Amino acid sequence: MVPEFLPVSDEIVLTAFRPEDKSDLLRWMEDSTIHQFTLSIPFPYTDADADAWLHKTREMEEQYLARPHWAIRTAAGQLIGSIGRQMKDSANSHCDEVGYWLAWPYRGKGLMSLVTQHFCNYWFTYSPLIRIEAGVFHTNPASARVLEKAGFDYEGYQRRKVFRNGQYLDVLLYARLKD
């Protein structure tokens, strides 16, 4: 059974995405930095993109009987970000990849490291995962710091791993293992 929410702190909670999150998604996705440092978030972000994302999160919960993608919310319930796992092989895989974004007013305060740490602890406890990976564009040192603070270890430099916006980008590979 998937819990309704995961408390992270007195100020932050993880929940399912809701239809009423659409307006916050559209507002936060106006920030081109989110697109710049993620692989699958389009820019500009449209109503159709928000609808597709909300549909996908519900569909994945039904398919996997788990919640791969969580909304990051303030204690008051406002959507301020997202964290999720890719479910690359299956819900029962021993290895997967994490991805996240956070709205600009909340960055630089240590929230994403805390959220990532709690998210990984949850999956290590309630699934067969023993390894969670994350790839960070070499141009995004802030995300590398998030991962390091969340207990991830740097494992390598992948040259020209991603073709994005007309250029090849190097990726820093991080991983966290179940204790």
The dihedral sign for the CA sequence 101, 103, 105, 110: negative
pTM of structure:
0.95
Instruction: Give the start-to-end residue ranges of the domains of the chain.
Output: 5-177
In the CATH scheme, what is the code of domain 5-177?
A: 3.40.630.30
Q: How confident is the model at residue 1 (pLDDT cuts 50, 70, 90)?
A: low
Question: Given this model, what pLDDT does residue 83 score?
Answer: 98
- Say how far apart CA 123 and CA 39 lie, in whole Å: 22
Per residue in 9-26, pLDDT (tens digit) is: 999 999 999 999 999 999
Show the tokens assigned to 165: 């916006």
* Long-range interactions of 24-32: CB distance < 8 A, separation 24+: 24/78, 24/79, 24/80, 25/50, 25/53, 25/54, 25/79, 26/50, 28/79, 28/80, 28/81, 28/101, 28/103, 28/104, 31/103, 31/104
Per residue in 17-61, pLDDT (tens digit) is: 999 999 999 999 999 999 999 988 999 999 999 999 999 999 999
